[in-house]
Amino acid sequence: MKTSALTLLLLLLALPFSATAVVMAGADEAHALFDDGGMAALPHPEWFKESFLDLEEDLDGAIAAGKKGLLIFFDTEGCSYCARMLEYTFGDPKTAKQVQALFDVIALDLFQDDEMTDFSGRPTVVKTFAKREGAVASPTLIFYGEGGRRLYRTAGYYPPGRFRLLLDYVVGDRFLTQRFGDYERQHRPPDSDAGYRPIRAPLFEEPPYALDRRMPAHQPLLVLFERDGCGDCRRFHEFVLQHPPVRKLLPEFDLVQLDLDDRRTPVVSPSGERTTPADWADSIGIAATPSLVYFSSDGQELLRFENLVLRQRMERSLLYVLEGAYEDGTIYQRFTREKSIEKLVRKQQGRK
């Protein structure tokens, strides 16, 4: 009897999750580079709200309890970044206490087929709602306030200290006037990365940056936004960009490295706008570093990450664009989950 891909996935998820720390990052002891190559179980904290998938009702309940609103944590089976955040961030007592005082938290699976009711009372399906809200990779965190107004959306793993800063940033409505990265720099304690300056990697193009894609280019475009003092930028260069499978794929892209604070260097954006790195970042909503933004050869934004991306996610995101998986509407997270299942099947077959 052959073992199905789904059965293999379920068997693997039943195993204990281990995220091996590689190097500690700054003052936040829980923020370590970890092995993002595995599939992980996702036990949600008991204090997450059990929802009947009526978001209007859930939001009303949160507001009535004196909270700012709802935080929806979009995850999916096997997501190692989700598991890391559930274990280390939501599992941190100080962080858990703060978030519970401010928001009711609901977990939804990106691929969930259950019927639900959105904030306007309209029936829909969870996976349709997730895609509509821009949740294409997990974890994606979206904060909602009164009336179902979306306050802030972000994706990726947040360690406890950084997540508490994010809560303060959202609750204080600072996202209306300030990037999260700027707020973070003002309020985080000094650390060993304060003196870091972005590495000018030779594989990236030199300025001035002519990125106009109104006439399709020969290759897709990958833009990396960095800034001084960004320890995760340093880790991205040292740990991720040096990974052989990643290095092999990078030449298939036009690669550009931009300083998030640079308001002088000329840039022509993919839409043909004359701008600077900082002004362009503001116009497309880049809030933190390191940020990766992928564009198709004709200038369509395909995917973005605004947190440290590790080896597997980097490799998979490059493949997602190069293989054209987005062309039929497949979101990144479905693509990478299918790749993980294929890998498990090959591994299992190799043992027989």
pLDDT per residue over 282-300, tens digit each?
999 999 999 999 999 999 9
Reply yes or no on whether the pLDDT at 352 is more than 90. no
CB atoms within 10 A of CB 313: 23
What is the rounded radius of gyration, in angstroms, for the C-alpha atoms of the chain?
20
β-strand 69-75 against 103-109: which pairing, if any? parallel
- Residue 32 pLDDT: 64
Q: Does the residue 324 lie in any domain?
A: no
- Residue 19 pLDDT: 37
Which of 187, 219, 250 lies at the terminal end of a domain, its last residue? 187
Reply yes or no on whether the pLDDT at 213 is more than 80. yes
d(CA 69, CA 148): 8
* Token representation of residue 34: 């970890």
Lookup result for tokens 């996202």 = 175
Mark whether 106 and 171 lie in a shared domain. Answer: yes
Name beta bridge partners: 24. Answer: 32
* Token representation of residue 53: 């998938």
Q: Does the residue 352 lie in any domain?
A: no
DSSP category for residue 102 = H
Mean pLDDT of the chain: 88
Mark whether 252 and 181 lie in a shared domain. Answer: no
CB atoms within 10 A of CB 91: 14
More confident residue, 209 or 197: 209
β-strand 254-259 against 221-226: which pairing, if any? parallel
Q: Does the residue 345 lie in any domain?
A: no
| Mean pLDDT along residues 315-327 | 97
- Residue 195 pLDDT: 77
Q: Does the residue 327 lie in any domain?
A: no
Which of 309, 329, 347 lies at the terminal end of a domain, its last residue? 309
Residue-number span of the structural domain to which 128 is assigned: 5-187
Mark whether 141 and 264 lie in a shared domain. Answer: no
pLDDT bracket for residue 200 (50, 70, 90):
confident
Q: Could you give the number of structural domains in the chain?
A: 2
Reply yes or no on whether the pLDDT at 177 is more than 90. yes
Closest among 187, 191, 196 to 229, alpha carbons compared: 196
Judge contact between 7 and 20, C-beta under 8 A.
no
Mark whether 178 and 215 lie in a shared domain. Answer: no
Q: Does the residue 338 lie in any domain?
A: no
Q: What is the CATH number of the domain that holds 75?
A: 3.40.30.10
DSSP category for residue 238 = I
β-strand 209-210 against 150-155: which pairing, if any? unpaired
- Residue 18 pLDDT: 38
Reply yes or no on whether the pLDDT at 279 is more than 80. yes
Q: Does the residue 276 lie in any domain?
A: yes
Burial of 139 (0-12, 13-18, 19+ CB in 10 A): buried
Q: Does the residue 218 lie in any domain?
A: yes
CA dihedral defined by 323, 324, 326, 330, rounded to 10 degrees? -50
| Mean pLDDT along residues 69-77 | 96
Which of 289, 309, 329 lies at the terminal end of a domain, its last residue? 309
Mark whether 38 and 163 lie in a shared domain. Answer: yes
Reply yes or no on whether the pLDDT at 304 is more than 70. yes
Mark whether 183 and 213 lie in a shared domain. Answer: no
Mark whether 151 and 41 lie in a shared domain. Answer: yes
